[in-house]
Amino acid sequence: MSIFKTIFTQFLALFVLAAPLSAQDQAISLSGDVKHEKTSVDAAGETRTELVEPNTIVPGDRLIFGTDYTNSSSEAVENFVVTNPLPDAVRLAPDADAALIVSVDGGQTFGALSELSVSAEDGSTRPADHADVTHVRWMLASVAPGESGRLEYPAIIR
- pLDDT tens track for 72-81: 999 999 999 9
Calpha distance 154→135 (Å, rounded): 12
Distance CA 123, CA 150 (A): 39
Q: Can you give the pTM of this predicted structure?
A: 0.80
Q: Flag whether pLDDT at 156 surpasses 60.
A: yes
Element (H, E) at 43: none
**pLDDT bucket at 121, cuts 50 / 70 / 90:** confident
* pLDDT reading at 6 higher than 70: no
Smallest CA-to-CA distance from 8 within 49, 39, 54, 50 is with 54
Strand 28-41 to strand 62-71: parallel, antiparallel, or no bridges (unpaired)?
antiparallel
